[in-house]
């Protein structure tokens, strides 16, 4: 499972959001790279599937910064849909919407029409758990990807956001969590 860097489509999309993401840019971009590589390792993607994974990965958490919110799934989905429409890829809106909306789902996503949704969910869990959950990926590969694309403060930022949520809603799950 080779490491790809740079990935032109990823770099192009992410560059347009650098100012919005600000100091968290490198951490988020590295998270996106890790997720993309975990997806590619979990599922042999054809060209169209690769593009869907890359686009979904770039936008999946973007609402955190673009809308300054912990309830970031709706704005992330909206931003991805806008990108797809601007790039004449409207036929992917439903699948990429599900990829983003279900990426924090605890249980597997089982709709056979959209296998990338569960692949994407697993890849995010691998990265979110810092590799403790590996979805069947070899530990050496997960560590190699993490070394290639360092955390750069991404998980620290997630902890800050979680603390902000739980300090206001101590007994409620964050809005992005799904069973």
Q: Are 72 and 62 a contacting pair, CB within 8 Å?
A: yes
Q: Residue ranges of the chain with pLDDT lower than 50? A: none
Q: How do the domains of the chain map onto residue ranges?
A: 8-168
Report d(CA 82, CA 72) in Å as an integer.
Answer: 15
State whether residue 101 is helix, strand or coil: helix
Q: How many CA atoms lie within 13 A of 169 on its CB side?
A: 10
pLDDT of residue 93: 98
pLDDT of residue 164: 61
State whether residue 178 is helix, strand or coil: strand
For 59-81, the three-class secondary structure string (H helix, E strand, C coil) is HCCCHHHHCCCCCCHHHHHHHHH
Q: From residue 15, give the alpha-carbon distance in Å to each of 12, 143, 172.
A: 5, 26, 35
Q: From residue 132, give the alpha-carbon distance in Å to each of 30, 79, 121, 139, 169.
A: 18, 30, 15, 9, 27
Please name the residue ranges forming H helices in the chain.
Answer: 8-15, 18-21, 25-42, 47-59, 63-66, 73-86, 93-101, 115-128, 139-148, 154-168
pTM score, two decimals?
Answer: 0.93
Q: Are 38 and 142 a contacting pair, CB within 8 Å?
A: yes
Q: Are 49 and 154 a contacting pair, CB within 8 Å?
A: no
pLDDT of residue 157: 83
Distance of CA 134 to the CA centre of its chain: 16
pLDDT digits (tens, 9 = 90+) for 36-54: 999 999 999 999 999 999 9
């Amino acid at each position: 499972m080779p490491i790809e860097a740079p990935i032109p489509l990823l770099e192009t999309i992410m560059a347009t959001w650098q100012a919005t993401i600000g100091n968290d840019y490198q951490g988020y971009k590295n998270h996106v790279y890790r997720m993309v590589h975990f997806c590619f390792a979990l599922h042999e993607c054809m060209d169209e599937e690769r593009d869907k994974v890359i686009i979904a990965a770039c936008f999946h958490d973007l609402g955190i910064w673009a809308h300054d919110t912990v309830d970031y799934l709706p704005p992330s989905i909206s931003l991805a849909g806008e990108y797809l429409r601007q790039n004449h890829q409207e036929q992917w809106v439903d699948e990429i919407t599900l990829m983003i909306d279900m990426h924090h789902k605890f249980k597997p996503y089982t709709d056979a029409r959209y296998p990338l949704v569960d692949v994407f969910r697993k890849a995010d869990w691998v990265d979110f758990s810092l590799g403790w959950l590996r979805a069947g990926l070899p530990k050496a590969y997960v560590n190699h990807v993490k070394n290639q694309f360092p955390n750069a403060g991404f998980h620290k930022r997630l902890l800050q956001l979680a603390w902000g949520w739980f300090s206001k809603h101590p007994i409620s799950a964050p809005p992005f969590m799904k069973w």
